[in-house]
Amino acid sequence: MVYCRGVRGATTADANTPEAILEATRQLLALMIRQNGIKPEDIASAIFTTTPDLNAEFPALAARQLGWMNVAMLCGHELDVPGALPRCIRVLIHWNTTKKAEEIVHVYIKGAEKLRPDLSSLPPVDWEELERWIQAHLNREAKPSGRADPASSSVTGKLSLAVGEHPDGASPQASSSPSEPRGK
């Protein structure tokens, strides 16, 4: 029987820059995918949150870069709790799977282990090998399928966005006040 299971993960970004947020999120997602055998077509949705000190990029863009083109995703901020782990990115993936809840591997890395020490039992991570896996998936997902003109392909168009660039042309810095929307 297939169940919708929650897969949790958290990490920290080195800085409040688009590059740091995307790199940290891609690493976290890659580990979550590999530890659980997650395929994009089995993901119902994903929720990404950041602490308020991270606002330079939407972490969901990292998932799009890894090929999650048909996954419903939402980004938001965590509560601004005094003493909370700074520069933290959290993910909750709703995954359709036959696995039992106790078989799910939740991933907490780069200082986020203290959020859930009971779930932080990953073997040592080979970060260089993980980065090669990420790059291979970025390169594979960015290649056009041959069925459509790459210049007009929405998949290629989304993947070719520069860091910090959004489909509507807005940049994270384009808003003049924190209450105005910054992009899609």
Q: Is residue 162 part of a domain?
A: no
Structure tokens at 14: 């080195």
Q: Which of 19, 113, 116, 165 is catalytic?
A: 116
Q: Which of 75, 113, 165, 182 is catalytic?
A: 75
Domain count, the chain: 1
Q: Is residue 154 part of a domain?
A: no
- Is 8 considered catalytic here? yes
Residue-wise pLDDT tens for the chain (184 aa)? Answer: 999 999 999 999 999 999 999 999 999 999 999 999 999 999 999 999 999 999 999 999 999 999 999 999 999 999 999 999 999 999 999 999 999 999 999 999 999 999 987 877 777 888 899 999 999 988 665 554 443 333 333 333 333 344 444 444 444 443 334 444 444 3
Among positive and negative, which fits the CA dihedral 76, 116, 26, 80? Answer: positive
- Is 75 considered catalytic here? yes
Q: Which of 5, 57, 88, 108 is catalytic?
A: 108
Q: Which of 19, 78, 113, 165 is catalytic?
A: 78
Sheet holding 72-77, edge to edge: 72-77, 43-50, 88-97, 3-12, 107-108
* SS3 call for 38: coil
Report how far residue 16's alpha carbon sits from residue 58's, in angstroms, rounded to the nearest whole number. 11
- Is 182 considered catalytic here? no
Q: Is residue 77 part of a domain?
A: yes
Q: Which of 5, 26, 87, 90 is catalytic?
A: 90
According to the model, what pLDDT value does residue 118 have? 82
- Is 78 considered catalytic here? yes
CATH number for the domain harbouring residue 92: 3.30.1330.40
Give the domain extent around 107.
3-127
Q: C-alpha angle 51/89/131, rounded to 5°?
A: 150
- Is 64 considered catalytic here? yes
Q: Is residue 102 part of a domain?
A: yes
Q: Is residue 144 part of a domain?
A: no
Q: Is residue 143 part of a domain?
A: no
Q: Is residue 168 part of a domain?
A: no
According to the model, what pLDDT value does residue 121 have? 75
Q: Is residue 149 part of a domain?
A: no
- Is 26 considered catalytic here? no
